Structure 1
């Protein structure tokens, strides 16, 4: 299973995975407005990988099959407060 990965030009570290390069037909228009102009990053074969850096590869595969896309959100930043 191939996945084409695009980075957002509006939100740092936000990525969109789709099964067919440049085919955004399954991605909701509202999401694309928030995401901005998709910038092609890379294409990977999910069948030949056991894991991804920051997200569950099983979840990515499932979302690609069920919804036709997967949105990877930026990591949550936790601030420690010293009192």
Structure 2
């Protein structure tokens, strides 16, 4: 499946995969508002055997087929990072929980 990847200029590290180039009409309005402006970054051919660094290709393909889009959020912090002394002593945004 041919697909198109965009980066959110509002939400750092957040990518939107689309089944059709520039077809933002498939997005729920709330998602489009959350993502803000998007910049095209990649055109790629996906198939079940392809490996993706941060996403499960089967889930991406399923979302593209069923809803026309897939949202890739930034990778969550690893346990090693969260337990690192420098991280523990750093100030954190109180909204992160």
Shift of 1:43: 0.5
* Relative contact order, higher structure (CA 8 A, sep 6+): 1
2-side partners of 1:49 and 1:38: how far apart? 28
Structure 2 counterpart SS, 1:25: helix
Give me the TM-score of the superposition, normalised by structure 1.
Answer: 0.90
Unaligned runs of 5+ in 1: none
* Root mean square deviation, CA, Å: 1.8
User: Does 2:64 align with 1:64?
Assistant: yes
Unaligned runs of 5+ in 2: 89-97
Give me the TM-score of the superposition, normalised by structure 2.
Answer: 0.78
Q: Number of aligned pairs?
A: 83
Counterparts of residues 41-80 of structure 1 (less than 5 Å): 41-47=41-47, 50-78=50-78, 79-80=82-83
Structure ranking higher in helix proportion: 2
